[in-house]
Amino acid sequence: MTHSFKAMVVTENPPGTFTRRITQKSIAELPPGDVLIEVRFSSLNYKDALSAIGNKGVTRTYPHTPGIDAAGIVVEGKGSDFSPGDPVLVTGYDLGMNTSGGFGQFIRVPADWVVRLPEGLSLKESMILGTAGFTAGLSVSKIVAHSIHPGRGKILVTGASGGVGSMAVAILSRIGYAVAAATGKIEEADFFKSLGASEVIPREEIKDTPKKALLKERWAAVVDTVGGEYLAAALKTTAYQGAVTCCGNVASASLSLTVYPFILRGITLYGVDSANNPMAHRKAVWEKLAGPWKPDSLFAITNEISLSALDSYIDRILEGKLKGRTIVNMTDSQI
């Protein structure tokens, strides 16, 4: 087995200044853990970019290798249920936060973070989905469990060109919902069509009207990925007994609201956390993503890059300029 591998390493020097480069790391540098995995694919999420620019809410100590997603082949299972050669994926927990992450060609993690690759997904497809697809799957599972069937009306997805948003549009349309995609990239009509959206809305149109406690009912449910006034507006425009899911804060972490959507329309606001979602539910959602919820459009909305190209994509995701999913092919030996 090789003892060194390539990884993106973010360093802090001088304090408060962060630099990232692709370099060699050794297996011995990895944290202790049960399962050593040779990473074949990773993916880029907004949180990875925060870790890569020194956001201490995500990563406390540097040098550090980001990457909250990894899919690959088990090299050592150390008494766990995993054996060398098993295809597996890891998303969330502490991977890529304070544990060396998927932007390295090897990771070592506790066995209870590891999900066996479900039948119906390749390693590459599992990373096209990645944390974004898993989070979208969790959001959709809340809407389905809330008894919102396709006949109840349209579902709004905010941040629709982003990782979670595009996956939510694709999953919801795959299982028969009419989906309105709210976006800042209205010119990308073909992209949203390929995801299965039935309507594309400029995001300014769904911004909040702060003086009004409630607005005209428009949606059976909303998958919100951006927060702030978009989330406030989503809660005010969801129809009676509807549901809104909240997972992100790219627009804002604040939420300014009255209680009226809850006490007059019976709206439910569901929080979605993918990182620490319990393993039994995690596996159940991955089974759905590999089967009946698997988007038809996975490859059409994916950009595959090498580790050497990752740096510029980190800047682009921070600027909100990426669309769909960006996966990183970790088998590329070029630095």
Q: Does 135 bind ligand NAP (CB under 6 A)?
A: yes
| Positive/negative CA dihedral, 123, 329, 50, 129 | negative
Nearer to ligand NAP among residue 75 and residue 99 (C-beta) = 99
Are 179 and 198 spatial neighbours (Cβ–Cβ below 8 Å)? yes
Structure tokens at 40: 């074949």
Closest CA to 244 of 220, 260, 263, 226: 220
Q: E strands within 16-130?
A: 18-26, 35-43, 69-76, 87-91, 106-109, 115-116
List the Cα angle 133/143/123 in 5-degree steps. Answer: 20
- 185 belongs to the binding site for ligand NAP (CB under 6 A): yes
Instruction: For residue 122, give both structure tokens.
Output: 């390749």
CA dist., res. 195 & res. 114, Å (int): 29
Contact window for ligand NAP (CB under 6 A) among 28-36, 145-153, 168-176, 315-323: 315-323
Residue type at 6 in one-letter notation: K
Q: Which of 275, 305, 308, 309 is close enough to bind ligand NAP by CB under 6 A?
A: 275
246 and 270 Cβ atoms separated by less than 8 Å = yes
Using the rule CB under 6 A, is 302 a contact of ligand NAP? no
Residues in contact with ligand NAP, counted by CB under 6 A, come to a total of 31
Near ligand NAP by CB under 6 A: residue from 75, 172, 180, 251: 251
Residue 303 sits in the site that holds ligand NAP (CB under 6 A) = no
Q: Which is nearer to ligand NAP, 74 or 250 (CB)?
A: 250
Is residue 200 at the binding interface for ligand NAP, with CB under 6 A as the rule? no
What is the smallest separation between the CB atom of 233 and ligand NAP, expressed in angstroms? Answer: 11
Q: At its nearest, how many Å lie between ligand NAP and the CB of residue 161? A: 3
Q: Is the peptide bond before 63 cis (omega within 30 degrees of 0)?
A: yes
- Token couple for 137: 């799957």
Site for ligand NAP contains 159 (CB under 6 A): yes
Please state at what angle helix 123-145 crosses helix 279-290, rounded to 10 degrees: 110
Q: Is 161 in the site for ligand NAP (CB under 6 A)?
A: yes
Instruction: Based on the shown chain and the rule CB under 6 A, indicate whether residue 160 belongs to the binding site for ligand NAP.
Output: yes
Choose between 48 and 125: whose C-beta lies nearer to ligand NAP.
Answer: 48
Closest to ligand NAP by CB, 220 or 317: 317
Shortest distance (Å) from residue 13 CB to ligand NAP: 26
Find the distance separating the first CA and the last CA of the chain, reported in whole Å: 20
Site residues (vs ligand NAP, CB under 6 A): 45-47, 131-132, 135, 159-165, 183-185, 203, 225-226, 247-251, 272-275, 317, 320, 322
